Amino acid sequence: MSVYRTPEARLSSVREVRNALLASRRAVLTTHLNADGDGAGCEAALVSWLRANGTEAWIINPTVFPDAYRFLVEHSGWVVEAGSPLAQDLCDQADLAVVLDTGEVPRIGRVRNLIRELKTVVVDHHQPGDQPIGGISLRDPDACATGELLFDILLAAKGPWPVTSLQGMYAAILTDTGGFRFSNATPGAHRVVAELIAMGVDPEEMHERVYGAAPLKRYRLLRHALTRWSSTRRRGSPGWSSPPKRSGSWAPPRTTWKGWWTYPEGSKARVWGYSSVRPPPAR
């Protein structure tokens, strides 16, 4: 049986980041605007791991922590609103800022000013942009999710493995691979997930909690899309629909519909939460 091993090319950065995390006594964690399952899952995983190591750690995001992923955070009080006086105090007292799932200055919004003076660690799997955040970094676009890189760090530290850390990394990989459907669901991604399951993550429970329920607003959006369905051919698609012209009170915020899609049976069109119904992208 093949087990997961951190890719050789990643090892020195993994160790450098591990050492910085282990040296911290008070850390603040952040991710990109409109956190997704990878950003929020990694924050939940890392905050538990740091605290299990005796490091005080807090999550301070540029936009509100998504409700859908709050269950991953061991204690709700560890999430602090960026505009609050407490956030300012915590950043003033911190010795380390950890930026997860982005490495670009504009992507962390107002948190940039809070952590400007702090030593910074970046862990990210996106292609580098033109406004990189400085400091120590572990960046690898070959990783399926930031959760995979975080797993490398915890592996290099030989744990500990709090259950909330395992679940956070699982949620990160689950969501960034679209439920293991995308091409980034690599053998490496599956091996990491196999390790997480072997350590106690319940895949059925995680699927239920992440995908098993959706806000009613999403279904209203779907109703809107389907009642405006046109079978007029466009770009080879069997049908299309247009998004609401103006966001009514029922229209969900962008963060709750991003990444939500399905394929109507017998159709190649994709019903996509954000832009309603569109032809699938060219492959």
Q: Does 140 contact Mn ion by CB under 5 A?
A: no
Q: Stretches 9-17, 52-60, 130-138, 175-183: which one binds Mn ion (CB under 5 A)?
A: 175-183
How far, rounded to the nearest angstrom, does the alpha carbon of residue 139 sit from its chain's CA centroid? 15
- In this complex, which beta carbon is closest to Mn ion, that of residue 38 or of residue 74? 38
Stretch near Mn ion under the rule CB under 5 A, chosen from 55-63, 137-145, 227-235, 253-261: 137-145
In angstroms, what is the minimal distance from the CB of 31 to Mn ion? Answer: 9
Q: Nearer to Mn ion by C-beta: 177 or 276?
A: 177
Q: Which residues pair with 276 in a beta bridge?
A: 272
Among 43, 74, 101, 148, binds Mn ion (CB under 5 A): 101
Q: Is 176 in the site for Mn ion (CB under 5 A)?
A: yes
- Segment lying near Mn ion (by CB under 5 A), choices 16-24, 97-105, 190-198, 228-236: 97-105
Q: Are 165 and 140 in contact (CB under 8 A)?
A: no
DSSP calls for 79-134 = EEETTSHHHHHHHHH-SEEEEES--BGGGGTTHHHHHTTS-EEEEE-SPP-SSB--
Residue 122 and residue 139 in contact, taking contact as beta carbons nearer than 8 Å: yes
| Sheet (strand 276-278) strand order | 261-262, 270-272, 276-278
Q: Which stretch binds Mn ion (CB under 5 A): 90-98, 155-163, 171-179, 255-263?
A: 171-179
Contact 273, 257 (CB under 8 A): yes
The nearer residue to Mn ion, 74 or 101, going by C-beta atoms, is 101
Q: Which is nearer to Mn ion, 101 or 140 (CB)?
A: 101
Choices 17-25, 75-83, 113-121, 172-180; region in contact with Mn ion by CB under 5 A:
172-180
Q: Would you give the DSSP letter of residue 52?
A: H
Considering only CA atoms, which of 216, 213, 214, 217 is closest in space to residue 250?
Answer: 217
Residues 31-60, one symbol each (x = binds Mn ion by CB under 5 A, - = not), give: -------x----------------------
Q: How far is the CB of 145 from Mn ion (least distance, A)?
A: 5
d(CA 263, CA 283): 16
Q: Is 121 exposed, middle or buried (0-12, 13-18, 19+ CB in 10 A)?
A: buried
Comparing CB distances to Mn ion, the nearer of 35 and 47 is 35
C-beta of 28 vs 35, nearer to Mn ion:
35
Residue 75, SS3 per DSSP: coil
Closest distance between Mn ion and the C-beta of residue 176, in Å?
5
Q: Which is nearer to Mn ion, 141 or 200 (CB)?
A: 141
Nearest-CB residue to Mn ion?
38
Q: What are phi and psi of 5, to 5 degrees?
A: -130, 135
Q: How many residues bind Mn ion (CB under 5 A)?
A: 5
Binding site for Mn ion (CB under 5 A): 38, 101, 145-146, 176
